[in-house]
Amino acid sequence: MKLYKYLPSKYLDSFLMEGVFLFRALSYFQDYEDDLVRGDKYEGVLKHSRSEGIRINNLTTGQSFNAPWYFESKVDAENVFVFCASKKLCWDLGKEFKSDVCVELTNLEQIIIKLQSAVRKNKKIKPNKLFHQGVEYYSEEDAPGIKWAFPEEIAMRKLSDFADQEEYRFAFSLNGALEFSRTSQELRIGKKLKVQRSAPYPEFVLKIGNIAKWCKIHELT
């Protein structure tokens, strides 16, 4: 499998010659707003809602009813970090991401080995593991099943509105944020309000050394 990383050319040398992989916290993508790129306020959130409302079963009274709520299970978005690529080469994606070059990762296996090694050597990363897979796109009407308790499952899922990006994602966490059951749940009603943020978004850089021989450059201009 090959992956494609879209980026502005000013970052190309550091990516190729030093293997600089910039991982951003999921909270960054929740709030990101741009004329072209759509932020996803449900990054790191498993959402379940239905037009008729959520079915509530009261085990004490035996009564059941539909309520105009929706269910969310959330990861700790400040401590889960992701690096995003795509499984497709597409000039429209380059435009969407304001990128004038696309790096084709031609030897993904070796790059993953290098990233895994960098993660294992960094004692700040807990659990000490690199998660990676193609993003799974879902409808908010899909039943959450048991995924609500697995933060790594939530971190690798996005609503189907973004399916055209065909994203492949690398992820790790600090403070055990991707360990089993490190999620929080709530029932909500109404629109999710945007909170004004003043603090900078967390970032994390992994350097894996020169990867130029495992890459092919596509100019998008």
Residue 120 within any structural domain of the chain: yes
Question: Looking at residue 60, what is its pLDDT?
Answer: 86
Question: Would you state the pLDDT for residue 36?
Answer: 39
Question: Is the residue at 58 inside a domain?
Answer: no
Average pLDDT over every residue of 101-118: 98
Q: Where are the beta strands (DSSP E) in 87-177?
A: 101-105, 131-134, 136-138, 157-159, 167-173
Residue 43 counted as domain residue: yes
Q: What is the pLDDT of residues 47-67, one digit of tens each?
A: 998 877 777 778 888 888 787
pLDDT, position 15: 98
Which of helix, strand or coil describes residue 129? coil
Residue 10 has pLDDT above 60, yes or no: yes
| Chain centroid offset of residue 191 CA | 22
Q: What total number of domains does the chain contain? A: 1
Q: Among 59-68, 72-81, 90-99, which is the least confidently predicted range?
A: 59-68
* Contact criterion met (CB below 8 Å) for 94 and 85: no
DSSP state of 137: E
Mean pLDDT of the chain: 91
Residue 168 has pLDDT above 80, yes or no: yes
pLDDT band, very low/low/confident/very high, at 40 (cuts 50, 70, 90): confident
On the question of pLDDT at 33 being above 70, the answer is: no
Q: What is the pLDDT of residues 179-216, one digit of tens each?
A: 999 999 998 887 766 666 778 999 999 999 999 999 99
Average confidence (pLDDT) over 66-87? 94
Q: What is the pLDDT of residues 110-136, one digit of tens each?
A: 999 999 999 999 999 999 999 999 999
Is 63 part of a structural domain of the chain? no
In sequence order, what are the residues at sequence separation of 6 or more whose Cβ sits closer than 8 angstroms to the Cβ of residue 168? 3, 84, 85, 86, 87, 132, 133, 134, 135
Residue 61 lies in a domain: no
Contact (Cβ atoms closer than 8 angstroms) between residue 144 and residue 46:
yes
pLDDT at 73: 97
Band (38; pLDDT cuts 50, 70, 90): low
Q: Is residue 150 part of a domain?
A: yes
Do the domain assignments include residue 32?
yes
Burial (Cβ within 10 Å: 0-12, 13-18, ≥19) of residue 122: middle
DSSP letters, 28-50, are HHHH---SSSPP-TTTTEEEE--
User: Is the residue at 60 inside a domain?
Assistant: no
Q: Can you tell me the mean pLDDT for 98-111?
A: 96
Taking the model in full, what pTM does it have? 0.89
Residue with tokens 């971190």: 155
Domain containing residue 38? 3-48+69-219
